[in-house]
Copies of this chain bind each other. A is one copy, B any other.
Amino acid sequence: MKRVYFDYQAGSPVDSRVFEAMTPYFGIMFGNPSSTHGLGQEAKTAIEDARMKVASLIGARKKEEIIFTSGATESNNLALIGTAQRNKEKGDGIVTSTIEHISILNICKYLARQGFKVKHVPVDSYGLVDPTSVEKTISEKTILVSIMHANGEIGTIEPIAEIGRIAHAHGAAFHVDAVAAAGKIPVDVVGDKIDLLSLSSNDLYGPKGVGALYVNEGTRMAPILIGGGQERGLRSGTENVPAIIGMGRAAEIAAQEMGDESARLARLRDRLHAGIAKEIPYSYLNGHPAARLPNNLSMRFSYIEGESLVLSLDMEGIAVSSGSACSSKTLEPSHVLRAIGLAHQEAHGSLLFSLGRWNSDDDVDQVLSVLPSIVGRLRRMSPLTPKDLQV
């Protein structure tokens, strides 16, 4: 059975070009960048080259503005907790949205317990944050605005340039979670006036266990991991050299290939969408129809549960998810789908296809060849299904 993978949002293999770049650093190039001997200095040079490549992908002016972390979750923790701790004399307000990644939402809960005032602006039925809502919610006590670049579950791209302008007009720092967006759509930290931006390596087809936080040089931050003072004192711990080299190469490839690759993925995604819409009645798109990531297709199917679809497709060798992998442990419906106004059962009936570098037309064909009959079978088994769909 051919395996089909449409769950790139949960995880991705490492590109073989990336793996090739990393490999020497597991073996002969194993130096510690803090060592003064030659082997250490070679590692240091390689890390600075990777830093430059990541800076280049997001339009940062200086490579020193890139801080390597252990991944997106740590980047988000450093951005929010580090900013809050360092600026608490200035104010206690944090503005974010209702559809941020679960790490942002949980960090905000933690900060609220520490006494910070966190306000969540709502989104419309497409998942769009209205900049006017941010304008109404922000105050002179706001120290940080955190809005994602694009949502990984429903694909919607946020108007971050406008939100950044509002944040700065009120003297707040602007954090953008660009984990789902980077490498798929252009990211421009200078043009969009972004102070802090979170990146994940694996979402760029680089290795797991490494990420980055862009920290604009004027931004006041405290570290959250304390130790030997690596990464300009903002992230202690011996540098994860092979993974950092891998992330650098992954960022370089993403920058070179994004134009063609995003067009290719959008075409596959649109074929998948059109095929599902044509063959499966009562199926609906989640998220914005136009302002969306090229690799994202979130659909809901009336009368059935997404998790049953995931398991049925898994038996056909097709890997998809019913939402964010991070939330799969709970039986709660996705907070993102709830935030765009879906009822409990609608949210539960959603399926996320996240496309990536190794998907092909064959993969789309395979899904289209089995999904309609799976949906039909599950609907026949469901007591909720109206009579006319039971045939």
Contact = CB atoms under 8 A, between A and B. Distances in A.
Contact of A71 (B39, B43, B107, B238): B238
Nearest to A108: B226
B28 A208 contact: no
A103 to B, nearest CB: 3
A207 interface: yes
A37 B71 contact: no
Interface in A36-93: 36-40, 43, 70-74, 76-77
A238 B326 contact: yes
A38 to B, nearest CB: 6
Interface in A10-26: 10-14, 16, 19, 26
Interface string A236-268: 111111110000000000000000000000000
A227 B326 contact: yes
B319 A38 contact: yes
Contacts of A230: 326
Interface residues of A, number: 71
Contacts of A276: none
Contacts of A241: 208
A329 interface: yes
A289 interface: no
Nearest to A236: B73
A165 B37 CA distance: 42
Among A101, A103, A239, the one with the most B-chain Cβ atoms within 10 Å of its Cβ is: A103
Interface of A: 3, 5, 7, 10-14, 16, 19, 26-28, 30-32, 34-40, 43, 70-74, 76-77, 101-103, 106-107, 110, 202, 207-210, 224-230, 236-243, 307, 310-311, 313-314, 319-322, 325-329
25 contacts: A3-B39, A7-B39, A11-B30, A11-B32, A11-B35, A11-B43, A13-B28, A19-B27, A31-B319, A32-B325, A34-B329, A36-B321, A40-B319, A71-B237, A71-B240, A73-B225, A74-B225, A76-B227, A77-B224, A103-B226, A106-B226, A106-B228, A106-B229, A208-B242, A208-B243
